[in-house]
Amino acid sequence: MTLKVFNVYRCFKIEIELDDAQKSEILKMNTINLDNYSFVPDEMEGCDCWSEIMNESSFTQAELEEIDHDNLDIDLLDCDDEWTSNYETSYELSCGCDLLNCTTM
């Protein structure tokens, strides 16, 4: 089972290294995959969190009955030898961005 966990922040400040071409490109994007850049999170304010089971419709009835939707969280994956976890993390900005305190590299 793959559990996708979402954390949404209202305000998210980062330090990011961009050359002039990347700076122009990133300002045009509505959704920015930060995994493509070198960045350091700085401030994160207010968040919402939820999870989603990937490809749940492909599970058998018996598999679906094993899932406790009310108590599903990341910690569950470490509680039983049958579960394994691979914490792949992806960072993405939605709704574009503003660049502040820009200096040229």
- Domain of residue 10 covers 3-94
Distance between alpha carbon 69 and the CA centroid of its chain, in Å?
Answer: 21
The answer as to whether 100 is a domain residue is no
Is the torsion defined by CA of 74, 79, 83, 86 positive or negative?
A: positive
Q: Hey, how many other C-beta atoms are within 10 angstroms of the C-beta on 32? A: 20
Instruction: Flag whether pLDDT at 58 surpasses 90.
Output: yes
The answer as to whether 13 is a domain residue is yes
The answer as to whether 103 is a domain residue is no
Q: How many Å apart are CA 36 and CA 24, to the nearest integer? A: 15
Q: How many structural domains is the chain composed of?
A: 1
Summary mean pLDDT of the chain: 76
pTM equals 0.55
pLDDT (mean) for 11-18: 82
Spatial CB neighbours of 2, under 8 Å, sequence gap ≥ 6 = 53, 54, 55
pLDDT (mean) for 53-77: 78
How high is the pLDDT of residue 60? 92
